[in-house]
Amino acid sequence: MRLLLLTGTQEELLPMLSEFRLSFESAGLYRSKSYPEFYAATTGPGMRGEREIRELLKDLMPDVIVNAGLAGMLLDLSDRQGSPQPGDLLRLSSIIDAQNDVIFPLGPYGQVLVTVKQPVLEPYQKAALAREHRARFCDMEGARLIQLMRNADDLRDETPIVFCKVVGDTPDHFDLSEHEQLVERWYRAGLFGRMVLGLKFPGGPLRMRKLLRLREAAVAGLATHTRHTVKALLGGVDPDSLGSVYAPA
């Protein structure tokens, strides 16, 4: 079985490089030295590399695709008992394309995910998106990947897509997105530099550290669930048993 893992960003793929001994196979494509039938690539946020991904899919013709990534929470319900938290795996019932309102069913139970073309950062924008599509989470790749597979005549439209979507942020994380440059500099800075950046961050260093811990939990959760999904499929598990699966008729 030829398996392809697609993530939106390099950050989402990075933990898998050492786990599966992924090395460059060709431009934009990794191949596992441990599992020669396992490949991985990034699509770019919002499927920016759609043309390249289409050519990759045409050349590779995978039997199963895993689309793994972080999903934004549209309404902050994190204080409610049982509500998904950053790092938690989402079971999806459907994915909606925000541009044309096309709904792709995945299963009878779970959350509704809406795919947007541009990042949705402001809490009021997230709330409006939730009301319009009756969704609780959003991403930038899910529906676009399904559309690509359905509309391209030279691709195998019966290939199942397993969605491994993990809660990445809540509306309360707005500061991290708004001040992304400060956050990126914090990871590269030394102790003194981090102290300075923390003092500059709106709300102060404690606020920044709290948000960074939530982000780290989300990325760690994504790595855990992606690893489990990929290993299960490589071990012969039926994709339909994994939950959030788009299985073309």
Which residues sit opposite 87 in a β-bridge? none
* pLDDT for 177 beyond 70: no
Average pLDDT value over all residues in the chain: 87
Percent pLDDT > 90 in the chain is 49
What are the CB-based long-range contacts (under 8 Å, 24+) for 32-41? 35/3, 35/234, 37/1, 37/2, 37/3, 37/234, 38/3, 38/5, 38/230, 38/234, 39/2, 39/3, 39/4, 39/5, 40/4, 40/5, 40/6, 40/7, 40/13, 40/16, 41/4, 41/5, 41/6
Closest CA to 242 of 64, 52, 23, 29: 64
DSSP assignment of 205-238: HHHHHHHHHHHHHHHHHHHHHHHHHHHHHHTT--
Which residue would you say has higher pLDDT here, 189 or 234? 234
CB of 36 closer than 8 Å to CB of 21: no
* pLDDT for 39 beyond 80: yes
* pLDDT for 75 beyond 80: yes
- Cα–Cα distance measured from residue 202 to residue 179, given in angstroms and rounded to the nearest whole number: 9
Read off the pLDDT band of 139 (50, 70, 90): very high
Task: Please tell me the predicted confidence (pLDDT) of residue 26.
Answer: 79
* pLDDT for 204 beyond 80: no
Average pLDDT over residues 134-140: 94
* pLDDT for 80 beyond 90: no
Read off the pLDDT band of 78 (50, 70, 90): low
Average pLDDT over residues 43-60: 85
Task: State the burial class of residue 63 (Cβ atoms within 10 Å of its Cβ: 0-12, 13-18, 19+).
Answer: middle
Read off the pLDDT band of 46 (50, 70, 90): confident
DSSP assignment of 79-146: TSTT---TTPBPPEEEEEETTT--EEE--SSSEEEEE-SS---SHHHHHHHHHHHT-SEEESSHHHHH
Average pLDDT over residues 140-154: 87
Which residue in this structure is represented by tokens 């990126």? 184
Task: Please tell me the predicted confidence (pLDDT) of residue 181.
Answer: 63
- Cα–Cα distance measured from residue 160 to residue 157, given in angstroms and rounded to the nearest whole number: 8
